[in-house]
């Protein structure tokens, strides 16, 4: 009888309010600076693993590349199947690809009983995200939970982060559609504009680290970089509510309900002070 091994893991969604792009020759030293919020709606991965005559990974998106990287040097071959339960939209600024990568890796690690640290697992995910240009700064904050300031770019052991201690407050989300991260961070002109605005907002937030100031800095960043559609940008210009855009995605996040918008989807989620974990 073939023995089937199982593992499960969960990670929060992560929204970025503002950011700076730093692409270097070494993937682990590349990434982004900025600030964002982890939320209690995220991604759960379930891994089913059996021994096989050759490695075979059935997993969607970048998680397949991450798992292939994880198992390539193991003594045995395995057939691995990954299934996701996602409570956050894809390509809309909620760190979905990063959550898929780290949860699938941790679920496989759990199933196989591999002796790996969290930094080793997250390092693989970070390299894959940067290489595929699906994200630059989600996976490290997603291991921490809470409201995170990324003071230095890079993967685990390289990056420098700090947290703003907050209660698990309810947030309101209004999703209009996806934005391709790779298209934005591959444009030198856009990156120059992004980095100028991002540096200014990071400095402003560090001078007064609070959730309210994060929203103010993020709103200013969206308006200065114009990384959103005309409806959401016009709303940010005119509203007196504490609201911002999720980066990179055409979605609005607010500290209070909004009636003026007509999104494709809306939902509520709380700030999650808990990060990546085995289930």
* pLDDT (mean) for 202-215: 98
Which of the four pLDDT bands, split at 50, 70 and 90, describes residue 4? confident
Q: Would you kindly state where each structural domain of the chain is located, as residue ranges?
A: 1-279
Binned at pLDDT 50, 70 and 90, residue 2 comes out as low
Q: Which residues pair with 39 in a beta bridge?
A: 13, 271
Take residue 137 and report the two structure tokens written for it.
């700064």
75-88: pLDDT as tens digits: 989 999 999 999 99
What are phi and psi for residue 75, nearest 5 degrees? Answer: -70, -30
Q: Is the peptide bond before 187 cis (omega within 30 degrees of 0)?
A: no
* CATH class name, domain 1-279: alpha beta
Other Cβ atoms closer than 10 A to 220: 18
Whether the pLDDT of residue 53 is over 90: the answer is no
Does the pLDDT at position 1 exceed 70? no
| Residue length of the chain | 279
Q: How far is it, in rounded angstroms, from Cα 8 to Cα 278?
A: 6
Model confidence pLDDT, tens digit, residues 9-52:
999 999 999 999 999 999 999 999 999 999 999 999 999 999 98
Number of H helices and E strands in the chain, helices first, is 8, 11
pLDDT at residue 112, rounded to an integer: 96
């Amino acid at each position: 009888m073939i023995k089937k091994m199982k593992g499960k893991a969960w990670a929060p969604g992560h929204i970025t309010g503002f950011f700076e792009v730093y692409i270097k020759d070494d993937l682990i030293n590349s990434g982004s600076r900025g600030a964002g919020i982890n939320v209690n709606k995220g991604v759960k991965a379930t891994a089913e693993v059996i021994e096989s005559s050759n490695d075979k990974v059935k997993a969607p998106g970048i998680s397949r590349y991450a798992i292939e990287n994880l198992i390539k040097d193991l003594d045995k071959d395995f057939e691995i199947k990954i299934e996701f339960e996602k409570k956050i939209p894809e390509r809309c600024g909620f760190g979905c690809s990063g959550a898929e990568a780290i949860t699938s890796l941790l679920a496989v690690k759990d199933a196989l009983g591999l002796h790996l640290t969290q930094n080793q697992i997250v390092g693989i995910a970070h390299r894959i995200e940067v290489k595929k240009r699906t994200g630059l700064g989600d996976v490290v904050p997603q291991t921490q939970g809470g409201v995170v300031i990324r003071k230095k770019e890079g993967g685990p052991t390289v990056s420098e982060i700090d947290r703003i201690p907050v209660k698990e407050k309810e947030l309101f989300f209004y999703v209009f559609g996806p934005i391709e991260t790779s298209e934005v961070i591959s444009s030198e002109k856009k990156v120059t504009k992004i980095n100028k605005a991002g540096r200014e907002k990071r400095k402003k937030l560090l001078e007064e680290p609070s959730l309210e100031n994060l929203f103010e800095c993020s709103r200013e960043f969206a308006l200065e970089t114009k990384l959103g559609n005309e409806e959401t940008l016009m709303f940010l210009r005119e509203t007196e509510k504490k609201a911002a855009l999720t980066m990179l995605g055409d979605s609005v996040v607010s500290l209070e309900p909004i009636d003026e918008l007509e999104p494709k989807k809306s939902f509520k989620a709380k700030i999650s002070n808990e990060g990546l974990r085995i289930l």
